[in-house]
Chains A and B, each alone.
Chain A
Amino acid sequence: MEKLSFRLSAPKRAGGTRTQAIVGVVASGNLEVLLERASPADTCTIDIATAANGFGAVWDAVVRDFVARRSAGGLRISINDGGARPDTVALRLAQGVRKIEEPER
C-alpha cells in the first residue's frame, strides 16, 4: 500500500452545487473516487491510497493532466485504488467531475 498526495493549482473551478460525489468501485484493476467541495476555488487536492507500489511518476502525470484539462478547482479528491490502469484512473476522475457538476434533483 502506497499513499500519495498532490496539491495543484486548478485553472477551472468545478461547476454545480453538489457537495460531494462518488464514482467507481474498489476492486482489482478499478478504483473508487470521492470528490468533495472542500478546497479553495483555485486549488485541487488529491489523496491517493493505492495497492500498486512504484507508480508515483505515472500518478503525477495523470493527475496533472486531469487538473489542467477538466474543471477541478475547489475539489478535494480521495482515491482508493485497486491497481487500476492509468486510462481507467483518468476516466473515473472525469466521471467524478461530471457527477459533482450534475444539477441537484
Chain B
Amino acid sequence: MSDWGMQKAALGERLTGGRQHATGKVVAIPNLLAFLKAVIRSGDRVCLEGDNQKQADILAVALANLDPRDVHDLHMVQSGVVLPAHLDIFEKGIARRLDFSYSGPQSARIARMLFGGKIELGAVHTYLELFARYFIDLTPNVALIAAVSADKDGNLYTGPNTEDTPTVVEATSYKNGFVVAQVTEIVDKVPRVDIPGDLVHFVVEANRPFYVEPLFTRDPAAITETQILTAMLAIKGIYAPYGVRRLNHGIGFNTAAIELLLPTYGEKLGLKGKVCTHFALNPHPTMIPAIEAGWVEQIHCFGSEVGMEDYVAARSDVFFTGPDGSLRSNRAFCQTAGLYACDMFIGSTLQIDLEGHSSTVMTSRIAGFGGAPNMGSDPRGRRHPSEPWLKAGAEADPDCNAALRRGRKLVVQIGETFGERNTPLFVERLDALDLAQELKLDLAPVMVYSDDVTHIVTEEGIANLLMCRSKDEREQAIRGVAGYTEIGRARDANLVEQLRQRGVIQRPEDLGIDPLDADRNLLAARSIKDLMLASGGLYRPPSRFRNW
C-alpha cells in the first residue's frame, strides 16, 4: 500500500530524461532523436497526433527513426493513420498494437500490414469513440502533438486547426502522461492560448508548418447533372418536408451540390430561414454562396480547411472564432454536437446492401471510419424534441403513444446508382464482409448500420425506409431506387409501384421535379474561381485548385 504515486514518479523520470536534451522546455531538432529515446519507454501507449488535417509530421518521422532495440512494443492510439511514417513505426518493429479511427491515404498499406501480422489491431473506431476511450482504457502515456506556435512556457496556439489537440492533452496530461508539441515557431507571446503551458512538457521548434491537407474542397466544376438532380431531390423531398434546420453534411460532390443549390433552387422553393440554418461542419468552400446569401446562422467546426482562414475570420457572426480572430475548431465537441444537436446527417457512401447497411470499404482497403458513423447514427440518449426528429419518429412508429415515442435522427445516404468506373452503389454483399473474414475481424467495418439509415436518395428517387413495415418492403424500397444496377433491375415492379403509391418511394415527377431541369446553371458557383469571387477575395484556394 506504500506504492501510491508511481505514475507521478514515472513522469518525473521522463521529465528528468527529457531535460538532458532540452533548453528549458525547448528541444532543438538535432537533439530530437536522443530526446525521444530518453522519454519514451518500450510498451508505452503513445498518441501521435494525426488529425484530419493537422499532422505532427516531424515527431512522426523522428519516432520512426528510433532504434527498435531501444524502443519497441509501443501501442499507438491515434485518430488518423495518414502519413507513411505512421506505418513505418510498425514496419520497423517500434510499435506493435494499433487503435485508430481513419486511415484514408494509407488504407491499402494498413490492410497489407494487418494481414501480414506487422500490426496487431485493437479496433477501428469513430472519432468520438476513440476519444472516449482515451479517458477510460486507452489513456496515452505519451502524446506527440502539433501546434502553430508556442511560447517558452509551452503555451500553445493551434490556429484554426485545433481539432483533436485539447482532447489528447486533457487525457494525457491530467493522468500523469507526458506531452511533447511540435510547433512551427517559438514566439514571445502566442496569439491566443489554445493549450495551457502547464499541460505541455516540451516543445520542438520545427521551423516549418506542419503538414495539412485540403480534404474538404470540392471543385464545383466537377459536379455532374446527375449530382444536381440528387441534390434537388434531397432539398425538395427531405429538407423541405421535415424542415431540417440543424444538420451535418458529409464530404462529397452530392452534398457540395446541395450547398451550391441553396441560394438558387432552395431560394426558389422559399426555404431560406426554414432549412440549413445551423451546421456541425468543416468550413466547406462550397458553403460560401449560401453563407453570403444569408442562409446560415451558425457553424461549429471539427477542423478548418486550407484557404478558408481569412473568410472564416471575417465571418465571425457565423463561425466560432477566438480573440485573435481565427477559427476555433474542436473535433470532440463538434462530433458531440453532430451526434446530439443535429437532426440530420447526409452523406455519400460506396456500397449499400439490400438491408441498407452501407460501407466505404472496398476490397483490400481498410480506410477506417472517421466521424461518419457517429454523425450517421441515431443517438439513443437524446431527449430534446424538434420538428424533424418528431416527424421521423412518427413515421417509424405511427401507432405509439406520441408522448412515449422516441424521435428519429434523419440519416440520409445520397449517391448516384453507379459510381466511378461504372461501379454499382448497390450490392448483394458488402466487400466489408470479405475484408472482415480475411483479417479475422469480429466486426465487418460498416459505416452506417441498416437500422440507423432513414432515407436513400439516388437519381431515380427517394426511398423512405422509416415507412417500410417489413424486411421485404425495405429490400424492395432499396431496389426501387437502385436504377439500372443488377440490384435495381431485379426489383419486383408491382411491389415497387405499391411502395410508390404509399409515398415510401418518391420519383422526381412525384416531387414535381423534371430531371431535364438539373442543369449546371443552377449552381450558385460553377468553379473554384466563382467561390473565390463570392467570398469577395477572402477565400484563398490552394494552388492545386487554381486553374485560371
Contacts and interface: CB of A to CB of B under 8 A. Distances in A.
Given A87-B416, A87-B418, A88-B226, A61 B489 contact: yes
Given A55-B422, A91-B515, A98-B516, A62 B224 contact: no
B224 A58 contact: no
B516 A94 contact: yes
Interface string A38-64: 000000000000001001011001100
Contacts of A52: 422
B225 interface: yes
A16 B494 CA distance: 34
A95 B416 contact: no
Nearest to A95: B516
Contacts, number: 40
Interface string B201-241: 00000000000000000000000111001000000000000
Interface in B501-515: 515
B459 interface: yes
B545 interface: no
**Chain B contact residues (Cβ within 8 angstroms of A): what range?**
10 to 19
A91 B225 contact: yes
A83 B422 contact: yes
B243 interface: no
A88 B224 contact: yes
Interface in A63-105: 83, 85-88, 90-91, 94-95, 98
Contacts of A98: 516
Interface in B226-264: 226, 229
B181 to A, nearest CB: 46
A71 to B, nearest CB: 13
Contacts of B459: 87
A11 to B, nearest CB: 17
Contacts of A61: 484, 489
Please indicate which of the listed interface residues A52, A85, A90 has the most CB atoms of chain B within 10 Å of its own CB. A85
B253 to A, nearest CB: 13
B416 A85 contact: yes
B500 to A, nearest CB: 15
B497 to A, nearest CB: 14
Nearest to A85: B418
A57 B486 CA distance: 9
Interface string B477-495: 0000001100001000000
B377 interface: no
Given A55-B422, A61-B484, A61-B489, A87 B417 contact: yes
Contacts of A55: 422
B484 A62 contact: yes
B232 to A, nearest CB: 13
A52 B422 CA distance: 10
B152 to A, nearest CB: 56
Nearest to B489: A61
B489 A85 contact: no
A96 to B, nearest CB: 11
A88 to B, nearest CB: 6
Contacts of B460: 87
A94 B517 CA distance: 11
A47 B399 CA distance: 54
B417 A86 contact: yes
A91 B226 contact: yes
Given A85-B418, A87-B417, A88-B224, A58 B484 contact: yes
A61 B459 CA distance: 16
Contacts of B515: 90-91, 94
Contacts of B422: 52, 55, 83, 85
A65 to B, nearest CB: 8
Interface of A: 52, 55, 57-58, 61-62, 83, 85-88, 90-91, 94-95, 98
Given A55-B422, A87-B416, 11 more contacts: A58-B484, A83-B422, A85-B416, A85-B417, A87-B460, A88-B224, A88-B225, A90-B515, A91-B229, A91-B515, A94-B516
Interface of B: 224-226, 229, 416-418, 422, 459-460, 483-484, 489, 515-516, 518
Closest 9 CB pairs of A and B: A86-B484, A85-B418, A87-B226, A87-B459, A58-B484, A61-B484, A61-B489, A87-B416, A94-B516
12 contacts: A52-B422, A58-B484, A58-B489, A83-B422, A85-B226, A85-B416, A85-B422, A86-B417, A86-B484, A88-B224, A91-B225, A94-B516
